[in-house]
Amino acid sequence: MTDRLGFGAASIGNLYREVSDDDARAVLEEAWAGGIRSYDTAPHYGLGLSERRLGAFLAQRPRESFRLSTKVGRLIVPNDGPRRGTDEENGFVVPDDHVRRWDPSLDGIRRSLDASLERLGLDRVDTLFLHDPDVYGLDEGLRQGLPALARLREAGLVDEIGVGVNSVEAAVRAVREGDLDVVMIAGRYTLLEQPAARELLPLCRERGVRVLAVAVFNSGLLASDTPATAHYNYGAVPPELVERTERLREVCARFGVPLPAAAIQYPLRHPAVDQVVVGTARTSSLRANLRHMTTEIPDGLWDALRAERLIP
């Protein structure tokens, strides 16, 4: 099932903590050895650090042997304003000598792609996502960004175009208003919650749009087989979700299935979902994710979760 598992490269862009070049390369080596051939990155991840590290690794592999996606909408430009020393305000432990500038225009998106290719050291990416248009201005983002992406696809510069968002509503609008190939939805179709199931997933299936489910552990809440300190949407966990997580854990335990295994496999049960994309900078976590993908899960577990009204 490793063909249905993608590697998300935010963590090797120093998400929340500093990661050495050696550790970043080690986790990429582990992913490759485990059969992962699909990789996702973005300029946003460490102000280009993720792209540089991932590109250096993939440049040593035959180009036809992997698929690669990156994102546009945020240009990385020199920081001419005040500095705090690091970009930790945005979640990345890297120098804040550059900043992000939102530009969903055709020129901005083309410049962003060119800059990404330079950082990656590659001549093309397979898939290009408009990144978080709902964060900066959804109307402008979709009105400018979706036609711009389509122009790049028509010119043969990328094979696929899509959006990467956290909002179901934004993803639905993008699918309805654009001619997309793929949607990356973060945290909205997981074992914990499934708001994407109501409209987004049926719409994508109807229109032949691939869905990539990311943040399937809900920012770490479902990542451990034992209760642990975690976050939800990168913030405090609401009490009702703590209780729901424990109920999920208890049902999984009755069937001898680790909670993370159920979490990583659950989205793939929907016919609209093509892949799950999971990121880490730790080789131990990468090995665990590979194990979870191949864990045998009895149908009785899913039946029990439905009976408990924990999944639709």
Q: Considering the domain boundaries, does residue 233 fall inside one?
A: no
pLDDT for 235 = 67
Distance CA 235, CA 237 (A): 6
> For the chain, give me the number of helices (H) and strands (E)?
12, 12
Q: Considering the domain boundaries, does residue 137 fall inside one?
A: yes
Q: Considering the domain boundaries, does residue 308 fall inside one?
A: no
Which residue range forms the structural domain that includes residue 291?
2-217+267-295
Q: Considering the domain boundaries, does residue 122 fall inside one?
A: yes
Q: Considering the domain boundaries, does residue 310 fall inside one?
A: no
Q: Considering the domain boundaries, does residue 204 fall inside one?
A: yes
Helix (H) / strand (E) containing 302: helix 299-307
**How distant, in Å, are the alpha carbons of 213, 222, 263, 287 from that of 252?**
21, 12, 10, 20
**DSSP letter at 73?**
S
Residue type, 63: R
Distance CA 180, CA 86 (A): 35
Domain count along the chain: 1
Q: Which residue in the list 16, 39, 45, 136 is annotated as catalytic?
A: 45
Residue type, 216: V
Burial class (CB in 10 A: 0-12, 13-18, 19+), 80: exposed
- pTM of the complete model: 0.95
Q: Considering the domain boundaries, does residue 79 fall inside one?
A: yes
Distance CA 204, CA 240 (A): 30
Residue 26's domain is classified under what CATH number?
3.20.20.100
pLDDT tens-digit map of 211-248: 999 999 998 899 987 765 566 666 678 888 889 999 99
End-to-end Cα separation, the chain, in angstroms: 24
Q: Considering the domain boundaries, does residue 261 fall inside one?
A: no
Q: Taking the chain (312 residues) in consecutive chunks of 10 residues, what is each chunk's mean pLDDT?
A: 94 97 98 98 98 97 98 97 93 97 98 98 97 95 98 98 98 98 98 97 98 94 75 74 94 97 98 98 98 97 98 95
- The separation between CA 105 and the C-alpha centre of its own chain, rounded to angstroms, equals 23
Q: How many CB atoms lie within 10 A of CB 239?
A: 8
For residue 136, indicate whether it is catalytic. Answer: no
